[in-house]
Chain A
Amino acid sequence: QQQVKQSPQSLIVQKGGISIINCAYENTAFDYFPWYQQFPGKGPALLIAIRPDVSEKKEGRFTISFNKSAKQFSLHIMDSQPGDSATYFCAAKAGNEKLTFGTGTRLTIIP
Chain B
Amino acid sequence: DGGITQSPKYLFRKEGQNVTLSCEQNLNHDAMYWYRQDPGQGLRLIYYSQIVNDFQKGDIAEGYSVSREKKESFPLTVTSAQKNPTAFYLCASSIGKGGTYEQYFGPGTRLTVT
Instruction: Tell yes or no: B106 within 8 A of A by CB.
Output: yes
B63 interface contact, C-beta 8 A: no
Tell me, rounded to whole Å, the shortest Cβ–Cβ distance linking A1 to chain B.
Answer: 10
8 Å CB interface, B56-114 against A: 58, 90, 92, 97-100, 102-108
**A103 nearest in chain B by CB position:** B42
Which stretch (A14-22, A45-53, A55-63, A66-74) binds chain B?
A: A45-53
From the candidates A6, A9, A34, A43, name the one contacting B92 in the complex (CB within 8 A): A43
Q: Is A28 an interface residue (CB 8 A)?
A: no
Contact of A46 among B44, B103, B106, B107 (CB under 8 A): B103
Interface size on B, residues (CB 8 A): 24
In the complex with contacts A41-B107, A98-B48, A98-B58, A46-B102 CB distance below 8 A: yes
The DSSP consensus for interface residues of chain A is: loop
Contact between chains at B100 and A32 (CB < 8 Å): yes
Asked if B53 is at the interface of the complex by the 8 Å CB criterion, the answer is no
Task: Decide if the interface of chain B is mainly helix, strand, loop or mixed.
Answer: loop
Q: Residues 39-58 of chain B: 1 if any A CB is under 8 Å from the residue's CB, otherwise 0?
A: 01111110010000000001
Chain A residue nearest to B1 in the complex (CB): A43
B4 vs chain A, min Cβ distance (A)? 8
Asked if B45 and A43 sit within 8 Å, CB to CB, the answer is no
Q: Which residues of A contact B (CB under 8 A)?
A: 6, 9, 32, 34, 36, 41-46, 49, 51, 89, 93, 95-96, 98-99, 101-104
In the complex, 12 of the A-B residue pairs with CB atoms within 8 angstroms, ordered by the A residue number, are A42-B1, A43-B90, A43-B106, A43-B107, A44-B43, A44-B90, A45-B105, A89-B43, A93-B100, A96-B97, A102-B42, A103-B41
